[in-house]
Structure 1
Amino acid sequence: MVDDMLRTPGAVRDAERWTAHNYHPLPVVISSAEGAWLTDVDGRRYLDFLAGYSALNFGHRHPTLIAAAHAQLDRLTLTSRAFIHDQFADFCRELAELCGKDMVLPMNTGAEAVETGIKVARKWGYQVKGVPAGQANIVVAEGNFHGRTTTIVSFSTDEDARADFGPYTPGFTVVPYGDLDALTAAIDENTVAVLLEPIQGEQGVVVPPEGYLPGVRAVCTERNVLFIADEIQSGLGRTGATFACDHEGVTPDMYLLGKALGGGIVPVSAVVANADVLGVLKPGQHGSTFGGNPLACAVAVEVVRMLATGEFQRRSAELGARLHARLRELIGKGLVAVRGRGLWAGLDIDPALMTGREACERLAERGVLAKDTHGSTIRLAPPLVVTEEEIDHAVTQLAAILTA
């Protein structure tokens, strides 16, 4: 893929030599980035159509976010939650208002937000719903991806993520994604929550059937069960709305947020809910040394303010319509199916042509970076600052590899 005289091969070998092989990255070594573009150690530029799994919704080094980080670095970076700092209240208040909720619990990574949501739901079940001690269960969906901690992989249906990491944490019931009847049947008197991605990203940007999310909302309300929406990848403008749930007018009891909340600069996640849910936590029952630190809050509050204008949601909706229209033109010409919303697409390539990995390697040779998942499926998720011309360029490169 690259000439042996370039710096890239040596850097790739060094990474493979000194790093645990829990990832299989493309042989591209990035040294700088701006907006929707990346530059490798040899000066070659690539159009970023992964955006850090949606962590870079606002592009690389967005000037507003970089300025906020620089200003905070000169003042204060960490206090721990043992003290209150001057960025904390603004971040929590403005994120709560964006979500239409009362309370925010800041954490760092998406997996931490999910683990926090699970703990809160169980405690709510015992203290508020009256579930007998140790009997709480949570309903989840097949094909889910909520992280890779030992508890989370316990209810994964991806054997790569799950195998050989047992014993597994009990208390989860797995049902087919998009099947409202199966979900309803799985809820019993000890169910405390339904935990779902409104769009399953890792599974290949799978959008559930129309009416599914409103149905989940209705049954959760009827059965006194929390509806927890994992919007870590799908939220914060990615789908053409602030949250993917917004497309069907659904408000969950709890949002799990992350990735784009840190602006591509620092890891920031959050659990957002009303006081009757998050209020079950008392001092000493949950925490994080770095969660809600000053640097994280300074960046994240600017992210929230950028989203509050609606500009990035509109860009995602308008440019996403262009992206999906162009991609649909390739169905029957190498593509089998196209799914998604906004600037997020899952593409099924004819498996007789190539695997998803091969497709991403060939795209990289043409200066476009994307990510494969599950066989011949690839995902496209450009930063929301991408332009029409850049979208057209990326789709042109995809068409070229499909017909080469």
Structure 2
Amino acid sequence: MILLLLIIIYLAFISLGLPDSLLGAAWPVMQQDFGVPLETAGILFMITAGGTIVSSLVSGKVIIQFGTGKVTFFSGFMTASALLGFYFAPSIIWLVVWAILLGLGAGAVDAALNNFVANHYKAHHMSWLHSFWGVGATLGPIIMAQSISVQYAWRNGYLTIAVIQFTLAVILLFSLPLWNRVSNNTKIKAKKNAEDHFEEISPEDTKQVKPMQIKGVKLSLLSFLLYCGVEATVGLWGSSYLVNVKELPAAQAATWVSFYWGGLTIGRFLTGFLTFKMTNRMLIRFGQIIAFVGALLLLLPLPSNVFVAGFIMLGFGLAPIFPCMLHETPSRFGKKHSQTIMGYQMAVAYTGSTFLPLILGIIASNTSIVIFPFFIVFYIVMMLLSSEKLNDILRKKAFVPNKY
């Protein structure tokens, strides 16, 4: 039963990843169809992420009232409806409307599933969970590239993804009875374990403190902000950079960016195995260093083919960071506050997805998209610094063992 639900959660994360990379892959063609400026993609992305931020912030109360299973199903149905709306959208205004619904559908389910897995499953399950998100994120631009190659029909790409989303929503609907059973079984086991072995409990679980008052929470939020800023910026503007600076065809550029998402997916799958030998913090650090090297390959004046390696390295490097940070949440800040802090983290993560790509888009519209790799390098360096400062704080906490 636990394994069956885990498989369904993995399917839900494929559903969550499918739309995330679509706009960036399709935008070079969509921009021509609607006759709008380059930075409009950043605005649409901002609107989608804005809806996600709102739903993430209220996710704690929503999940407590309705349960993780129902929230996951309803969010998947909302996302599928929004993608179908993109297919029919006659103007940019309608894209804005459907972008709002798309964002609202993504936020609550993201926070819900991440906290559910962090509390009910192990670190390798979390990494594999996000590798399935990468499966969706990789399939998105591949499907869109195929659609674009046939008379630039980007709408067919959105229609295909919408059909897949509706199918997954139906699967989620039939899985609803499983969620409470797994939660109840896990609580019983946790209680028995606590009685048999005196579990280590964080001070934050025993004190009446607010989540934002816990040491290290703000630095954790900053790390999530910068991580999602990097991931979203590469996904949104990578194709435009390759088309406008490297002069690649739109379909080829979308395919190259799919290699980035592919590296992210494969990297997270491999991370699941690495968690048996390495701690989350070690994987986060190594991932940031690899991503930095990949960003340098985009920055240096090298042949165009090297950029494929740069995108793949970026994907591999970013792969372990997000799931490992999420899985660390209960041990960093205590299980009592994990759902609330998880919602904050997801909200701030989508804030990074909202504003950091938008900042690049606005500046690029007034200068050139050639600044793209400079921004990526800067974001990664800042993320590494904030993450290491957080590790320093965690080392000083008695309930977090030093695993270096």
**Shorter chain as normaliser: what TM range?**
under 0.3
TM-score by length of 2: 0.25
Q: Larger strand proportion, structure 1 or 2?
A: 1
TM-score by length of 1: 0.25
Q: Larger helix proportion, structure 1 or 2?
A: 2
Q: Which has the higher contact order (CA 8 A, sep 6+)?
A: 2
